[in-house]
Chains A and B, each alone.
Chain A
Amino acid sequence: MEILIGKYNYWIYIGLMMIGFYAMVAKKNLVKKVVGMNIFQTAIILFFISTSYKKNATIPIIIKSQEVIEPIQYINPLPHVLMLTAIVVMVSTFGVALAVIVMLYKQYKTLEEDEIIEILKDKK
């Protein structure tokens, strides 16, 4: 029982990761695959940030009127900093993926993966 109380945050985010993974693997439309990749990356970012929490602690903005600063009163700021970089990388890959999808639509006039494979087989 204490395994469930101690680790349920990891299990929730693993469930969200698997929803994004299923969308990337099983859907046939290209835009839905890219949206699945976005869900997967968001779940990883939330997973990382959930490891920074400490019980009965507050946000990492130091209250100025304190004499001695105890690091156990503030949550860990390092995962937040690393995940800011991860969010920017997520936006960049999403933008470039959408640009590639626009180019594919101009060339093949369709966005379904199996129709594109049919056109490529016929061209041979």
Chain B
Amino acid sequence: MGFLGEVLGDALDLLADFGPELREVLGLTLVVSGLATVIGVVLGVPLGLALGLGRFRGRTLATVLVNTGMGIPPVLAGLLLLLLLWRDGPLGSWGLLFTPTAMVAAQALLALPIAAGITAGAVRGLPPDAKEQLAALGLPRRTAGLVAAREVWPGIAAAVAAAFGRVVSEVGAVLVVGGNIVGETRVLTTAIVQEARQARFGAALALGVVLLLIALAVNGVLTWLQLRDSPA
């Protein structure tokens, strides 16, 4: 109990202190993962609505790609982006490598298929009567998408939460394209890696607790929204 007690004590001290370093890492994490989620949702939800509702050429292929994208290892997404952004790569001149912008892009790449896939699933799960009615109303495609989105909004809220949960907890992509530079590109997950590697377990655990609290907060809000909506 001695070792674990010590680790726990350190962690609690750090949390109680909540110093500038921790605040900075937390801030960057929320900004990077928040922006990535927004981008992923803005692009992914309409894509998911189209995949779930539409009938168009290439829908099956697009669905397979999205489903694969939902399970892509973050480190691979990071690697692909790294190749693009590398000094001699196609987008090397942009000079984005090891910047928060690159981290947002990498995580958006991960968030997009999650948002699209879960949205498509929610729309496909609409009752047959709802789909029949939606078609019968003869709405313009955009309006039909909005009506469907409103109908399955708890599913879309789940998609948003899942996308955020995915990106805020991943290490691989931000590590590869961000570089884990102190004060510049260090986020909660990469900081945990760093602290653990240097055997500062108390600090690693404190960061882990913060990460867990973020997940708890996001899912708490989501659950509250869904319960409030469900009929009594």
Are A and B subunits of one complex?
no
Interface residues of B, Cβ cutoff 8 Å to A: none
